[in-house]
Every structure is written in structure tokens, then in C-alpha cells.
Amino acid sequence: MADAKVIPFDDDRSRGGSGSRSPRRRTAHRRGGAEPAAAGEVQPLPGRTAAREEDTGADGPASGQSAGQPEPELEAEAEAGGAEDGGGLERRVASGLAFLRRRLTGEYDVDDFGYDAELTDQVLMSLLRPVYEKYFRVEVKGIENIPAEGGALIVANHSGTLPLDGLMMQVAVHDHHPADRHLRLLAADLVFVLPVVNELARKLGHTLACAEDAERLLAQGELVGVMPEGFKGIGKPFSERYKLQRFGRGGFVSTALRQGAPIVPCSIVGAEEIYPMIGNAKTLARLLGFPYFPLTPTFPWLGPLGAVPLPTKWTIQFGEPIPTDGYPPEAAEDPMLMFNLTDQVREQIQHTLYKLLVQRRSVFF
């Protein structure tokens, strides 16, 4: 593999169980000063009638227990419920401590790409989920179109100035797919040169947007996500929102053909408006080594506060998969076929975007 040629996808490189307690036997204690019972006479317990009320025909509880006094069985159930709650808390604490021990001792696994499944499931997804559910209120459609097993390539539009759309798509697959699948995203080189961001991206299962890494993941039966627009998509001006940019050179189609993996188009609505990009400070971008430097109605004018995204309402729709296993092996080298399949995927995403926009009543609601 040392001589393998890396083909970019686009021009930009872009939860101790506890048993239930048995009911405690209630005992009567004679209060001081009470007269002792005569021989053969039954002394009633305080709070109870001398005889069962159902025998006398009086209205009242069938058990003869006075109103307002709890049944022993109900009391036992309440105690058992409290024990279960306490047991659940104990399990969570024990699980958390075990997780910390494994992290400190290094007794956890990562794959060849740096993906840390335990950290992703227990920590990173828990941090992203409130943003997904409460802030952007993402609605997911067509999740059943993603295969339950085997490799598949999910191709989506890219927008939003910052690549939050990829993360939200990853949470959507992780939380909603019935087979509990995980999406491995292909990211641009810039992601892996930024401190902290690099490590978090690797832990989440991201890898370089190159054909070699994509093929390895597909061959392992993974779900792979790619956004072929690259920086052209997330860095486009607000006036061009929801207009798909060029899909690179169709490298993702070639990869899917070589592995016989289906291509699942994905359309994301809502990300375009989180940072309305009204300008681009190109000189500053070149100085910082960024592909663009966004100017929005709030950034950089409001400082760090201007970097807070607008709480738009999102919709993510996964379309019907396009099969590729019916093509011969040499089809991956056919430029016309790659062009036609690329155009088919792009048109399907664009058509779905327009349809979702027509159905949307408000950007925020």
C-alpha cells in the first residue's frame, strides 16, 4: 500500500440489581394506661374496627383497614421502587467509575483510524445530542433507506459556514437507525491539522477524504459519509443557499463502484441559515491559512457571541439507495459512467432540497 495513489474526492481535499423487599410485618404496641383485655375478649388494634366491615355490611374497605392507612402491599411496593431507583443510581455511578478507570489505565480499544466507540457512545454523542434535539430540533426522514448491514456510501449536501451538518447527520444515524449503525465521515485535511479538533474528529470515527480510506471502511462493512461539495459548499454566500456546488471529480462514485456499495443520497435543510454568510475576507483568510473567512450579521462584530449559530429548524432526509453492485469491475474506470452516476446523485439531492423547502413553513419553527 506504500505506493498507493491517494485520490481526493474533490478539488478542495476536502446504563448491581436490587431485589424487592418482602412486606414488613406490622406489630401492634399497647399504649400506656390501656385496660388489659378480658379473657376470651378480642382487643381491637388502634385504627381498626372490632369486626370486618364486609361481614356487618358497612361501607368501607373490604380488608377492614381504615381509610387513610396505607396497605402493607402498597407500602412494600413503594419501598421496592425506592430500592430500584437507588440501584439504578448505583449502577450508573459504578459504570461511570469503571469508564474513568479504563480511560486512565488505557484499557480501551481504537481502530486503525483512531475511532473510539466507547468514548463516542458515552461522551461525545451525549454532548452533541442536546444540540441535535433541543437546539436544532432535527427531524429525520427515510432512515430506513440506510442498509441494516454492509458497507454503504451516504452522500450529502454541505452548508452552514462551519461543518455542523456532518455532525448532526452522524447523530441522526447513531440515534435513529434500527440497527444501531455508526456513520464514519470523510473530512478535509484542515480538520486534521487543527489542535483538539483533530483528536476529537479521530475519536468520532472521521478520516481523510481520500479514496484509499473510504475503500478500506467500505470493505469493512462500514457506513461512510461524504460531502463532495467540500469548502465550496460550506463557504458559499447566503445568496446561493441550497444551490448545490460542483461535486468534485466524482471520486466517491468510483469508490462505491469498486466495492459494490450502494449510494444513499442525503438532503439537509436548515444548516444554510445558522451562519448567514454575507461576505468573505479573502486576505485575512489567506493570512490564517483558511479557505475563507466568513462575515455574517453577527460575526466578527459581536466577538465570540457572534459565533453562536442561529437556532434554525433542521430536516435530514435519506433518499432511496442507488445500487452499484450490478456493474462490472471495470466500470470504476469508465468516466462517462462516473459522470452519469454523479449527476444522478446530485440531481436527487437537489430535487429533495427543493421539495423540503416548499414544505417548510418557517426557518425557525
What would the DSSP string read from start to end of 76-144? Answer: HHHHHHHHHHHHHHHHHHHHHHHHHHHHHHT-----TT---HHHIIIIIHHHHHHIIIIIS--EEE-GG
* All cell numbers assigned to 43: 382487643
* Cα 206 to Cα 184: distance, rounded to the nearest angstrom: 5
Query: What pLDDT score does 42 carry?
Result: 42
Q: What is the pLDDT of residue 85?
A: 56
Q: What is the pLDDT of residue 59?
A: 46
Write out residues in the chain with pLDDT < 70, as ranges.
1-87
Dihedral Cα 344, 345, 351, 355, nearest 10 deg: 150
362 phi, psi to nearest 5 deg: -155, 150
Name residues whose C-beta falls within 8 Å of residue 56's C-beta, 6 or more positions apart in sequence: none
Pairing state of beta strands 152-156 and 223-226?
parallel
Task: Check if the beta carbon of residue 322 is closer than 8 Å to that of residue 346.
Answer: no
Determine the straight-line distance between the first and last CA of the chain, rounded to whole angstroms.
50
What residue has cell string 441535535?
A: 132
251-261: string of b/e by CB count within 10 Å (b at 16+)?
A: bbbbbbbbbbb
